[in-house]
């Protein structure tokens, strides 16, 4: 599977399932302590992995509103509430863990926007959700189009719904998976394939309206 690069266009930061608004920078640091072991006669130290830890920070523009995400961030800091912090790279790839807010800073200048910074100390572990992807190739014969179309990637085990748009005097007739026969009749110009567990080729045919 081809590796995928991520950008800020698909990223988001969540606090207790609410997107933290107006953030423009985020940092996550995973660390592990290393224990040194020494013995007589050894010329080098031996090192063993020990406990892990993590921390995070988020920066952005101040945008307080009663009941808004930054207001909830401030309330969690004031009360010492343990929050669920989620750093989402896209809809299905993310880091998530419980954390305490260790600092909350607001600063700025008269001729610039006000900035906000929050620092988080992880509590227990952080999980990394990276679903396995499958490649789905969707093609169609003359007489119409589909949405989605072409090559797409989906999380393994998910479902795919395809909407067909027939040309004038045409109707979506059948769809097939990986060339299997018999093909399946299409009802109301849409169909769903469930539990996509491997790379799949989907083909749609159109026919004349009777």
Model confidence pLDDT, tens digit, residues 30-58: 999 999 999 999 999 999 999 999 999 99
pLDDT at 1: 53
Average pLDDT of the residues in 143-162: 93
pLDDT tens-digit map of 192-210: 999 999 999 999 999 998 7
Is the separation of the CB atoms in 77 and 85 below 8 Å? no
**Which of 159, 160, 134, 157 has the alpha carbon at shortest distance from 149?**
160
143 pLDDT band, cuts 50/70/90, is very high
pLDDT above 70 as % of the chain: 99
Average pLDDT of the residues in 9-28: 95
pLDDT at 2: 66
pLDDT above 90 as % of the chain: 87
Task: Report residue 209 CA to chain centroid gap.
Answer: 42
In the predicted model, is pLDDT for residue 190 greater than 60? yes
**Which of 159, 136, 16 has the alpha carbon at shortest distance from 85?**
16
In the predicted model, is pLDDT for residue 182 greater than 80? no
pTM, 2 dp: 0.73
pLDDT tens-digit map of 78-109: 999 999 999 999 988 999 999 999 999 999 99
């Amino acid at each position: 599977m081809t590796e995928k690069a991520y950008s800020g266009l698909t990223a988001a930061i969540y606090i207790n399932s609410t997107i933290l608004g107006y953030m423009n920078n985020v940092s996550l640091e995973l660390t592990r302590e290393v224990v040194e072991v020494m013995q007589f006669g050894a010329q080098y130290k031996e090192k063993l992995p020990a406990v892990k830890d993590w921390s995070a920070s988020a920066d952005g523009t101040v945008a307080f509103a009663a009941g808004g995400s930054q207001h909830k961030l401030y309330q969690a800091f004031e009360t010492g509430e343990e929050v669920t912090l989620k750093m989402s790279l896209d809809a299905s790839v993310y880091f998530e863990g419980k954390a305490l807010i260790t600092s909350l800073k607001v600063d700025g200048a008269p001729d610039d926007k006000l900035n906000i910074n929050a620092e988080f100390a992880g509590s227990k572990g952080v999980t990394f959700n990276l679903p396995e992807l499958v490649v789905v190739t969707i093609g169609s014969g003359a007489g119409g189009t589909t949405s989605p179309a072409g090559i797409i990637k989906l999380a393994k085990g998910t479902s795919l719904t395809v909407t067909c748009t027939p040309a004038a005097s045409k109707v979506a007739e059948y769809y097939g998976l990986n060339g299997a026969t018999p093909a399946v009749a299409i009802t109301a110009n849409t169909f769903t394939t469930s539990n996509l567990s491997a790379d799949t080729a989907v083909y749609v045919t159109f026919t004349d309206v009777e």
